[in-house]
Amino acid sequence: MPHEEKPRMKLWTALFAAAALGACSQPAEKAEEAPAPVTVQAPSGEYTLDPNHSTLVVRAPHFGLASYQLRFNGLTGTLNFNPENPAQSTVTITVDTTTLDTPYSGETDFDAQLQNSEWLDSAAHPTASFRSTRVEQTGPNTARVTGDLTIRGVTRPATFDVTYNGSWRQHPTGRAFSGIGFSARGAIRRSEYGLTVLQPAAGDPSSGIADEIELVLEAEFNRPLDQAPVPPADSEPVD
């Protein structure tokens, strides 16, 4: 009946109005808090790469199935570390290409095959290297590092995304050196460095080993402690 419709319409109008007011009165979402600053315990200065706790892994997509991984164990390098102004930091890394290590079990000389003239050509080019030219901080503990990457005697620019993992002024066991650690990863096209063996056909990743490969570096750097070490409390020395 008409005289019943008006009260019902008024009721719905009131409900909608109440809902709208409620929505307007909801507290605004909190703005994202700025990330906490990263504490750096290692002092500024020149650090030497620790070859016993550093490695370079290469990941190459293999005939469209999975990424084959190989590693290099012989690394040397220097880090000039400036925590107050990270953009002023510099790093150089040298890789001994004869320290290539693969998990390939079918042929005992597979590592040597990858060092031949078709691949790394380690006889003519026993080292590969990276020298930074620019450091751009991208977050509290991250940076983008650009530099010159040399493989098989060919030098081209390359960029790596780097994460600062942590540091200490003195080794936790009391040993007399400071330490700092980073993880880095970047991608290159191997063909640009003369590594053209088994290139896949265009549009067919299953026909070869991908041109774009990933380089993953885990690196620790050390430097002598600036002052006498503090003896650890009841602990045994560890690496």
Q: For position 19, what pLDDT does the model report?
A: 43
Q: Spell out where the chain has E strands.
A: 45-49, 55-62, 66-72, 75-81, 90-96, 100-101, 127-139, 142-151, 154-168, 177-189, 212-224
- Decide if 82 is inside a domain: yes
Report the distance separating Cα 24 and Cα 27, nearest Å: 8
pLDDT grade for 222, boundaries at 50, 70 and 90: very high
In Å, how far are 64, 117, 121, 150, 157 from 194, measured between CA atoms? 21, 10, 10, 11, 15
Q: In this model, does residue 206 exceed pLDDT 70? A: yes
Q: Would you state the pLDDT for residue 12?
A: 41
Partner residues linked to 166 by β-bridges: 181
Does the residue 107 lie in any domain?
yes
Q: How far apart, in whole angstroms, are the C-alpha atoms of residue 183 and residue 215?
A: 11
237: in domain: no
How many domains does the chain contain in total?
1
Please check whether residue 215 is in contact with residue 209, taking contact to mean a CB–CB distance below 8 angstroms.
no
Place of tokens 């690196």: 219
C-alpha dihedral (15, 17, 22, 28), degrees to nearest 10: 150
Q: Is residue 22 part of a domain?
A: no
103 located within any domain: yes
Do 80 and 112 meet the contact criterion of CB atoms below 8 Å apart?
no
Alpha-helix runs per DSSP H in 26-140? 110-113
The whole-model pTM stands at 0.79
Phi then psi dihedrals of residue 128, to 5 deg: -120, 155
CATH assignment at residue 115: 2.40.128.110
- Indicate whether 9 belongs to any domain: no
- Domain membership flag for residue 24: no
- Dump pLDDT digits (tens) for 147-178: 999 999 999 999 999 999 999 999 999 999 99
Chain mean position to CA 208 = 26
Q: Is residue 177 part of a domain?
A: yes
Query: What is the rounded average pLDDT of the residues 44-70?
Result: 97
**Residue 106, pLDDT score:** 72
For 103, the domain range is 45-128+150-156+165-224
**Per-residue confidence (pLDDT) for residue 32, from 0 to 100:** 63
Lowest mean pLDDT, pick from 26-40, 83-97, 99-113, 129-143: 26-40
